[in-house]
Amino acid sequence: MLDNYFPVLVFILIGVVFGIAPVITGMVVAPHRPDSEKNSPYECGFEAFEDARMKFDVRYYLIAILFILFDLEVAFLVPWATIFKEIVHTDSVKWFGFIEMLVFIVILVVGYVYAWAKGALDWE
């Protein structure tokens, strides 16, 4: 019975070693010299090591939501692009598939232009 699970145990041990070894190697080998540049605000726009209960700027959430929105839209384009040759060679869906994706891209561009016009993509 143990012979059946031994390869799984070896696989788990190798995975744990490959996961923990780089972290331990980085802690041992890497220099630890923090300076003002390393402790400066990064991406979120507030000072690191301040009060944890401070409020985030709404613009940070807006940029994050817009990124997720447009990222998901691109995820819808990838499957369509992979079967584009099949869509073009099938007479019954040739124009329907093309026009459907054209409408999708137009709606995406209108949303992008709207977000740009409202200043949602500007970071002060």
71-93 per-position pLDDT tens digit:
888 888 888 888 888 887 887 78
Of all residues in the chain, what percent carry a pLDDT higher than 70?
A: 83
Strand intervals (E) in 60-124: none
Calculate the average pLDDT of the chain.
Answer: 82
Average of pLDDT values for 39-56?
A: 64
Identify the pLDDT of residue 44.
58
Average of pLDDT values for 47-58?
A: 66
pLDDT-based confidence at 26, cuts 50/70/90? very high
Q: Is 49 left (phi over 0), alpha (psi -120 to 50) or beta?
A: left
CA atoms of 58 and 93, how far apart (whole Å)? 44
